[in-house]
Amino acid sequence: MLGIGSYFLLQQLSITLFSGFFSWSTLVIIIGIALLVQAYGDNDHTAIFPGVILIGFGIHFHPLNTLSLWPEHAGMLVLVIAVGLLLRSSKTKANFGEGVLLLALALLLLNYQSFNSWLAGISSGFSFIVRYWPVLLIGVGGYLLFIKKK
């Protein structure tokens, strides 16, 4: 309530902290900060993941319209989710593997062109892997969902 109330008060008083401040992404960041304050203040580690996702998505979408060099890439969203999982797992000591897998996937997606060029440069025998690498992701996801039981 403090963050959202401050946001609307600044809007009513026409006080702009930076360009594009009065947008939906600023509200998403404020809600994410509130969740993280609750998570770390009350030792409620379940709120870490959604807090990081809201802050990360808000930070990602804020400069998309103003900074031409900001990456408009799905890998950024996967990276935010991976960071959220890793931060939560650092407190709960569980599910660290999923965060690492998503981090690796995010880095692969963000550097996909370089990765593709590297694989193509190694040998033409890797053309099958280059074309069907998503099948590997489906297999790992199926394993984690259906086979690996805790």
Question: What are the sequence ranges of the domains in the chain?
Answer: 2-77
Determine contact, residues 86/100, Cβ cutoff 8 Å.
yes
Find the helix packing angle between 48-61 and 74-92, rounded to 10°.
Answer: 160
Q: Tens of pLDDT along 118-140? A: 666 665 566 666 677 778 888 88
Cα dihedral across residues 101, 105, 107, 108: positive or negative: positive
pLDDT digits (tens, 9 = 90+) for 13-44: 887 777 677 788 888 998 999 999 988 888 88
Which tens digits make up the pLDDT trace of 49-68?
Answer: 899 999 999 888 887 767 77
pTM of the model: 0.68
Question: CA 37 to CA 68: how far, in whole Å?
Answer: 32
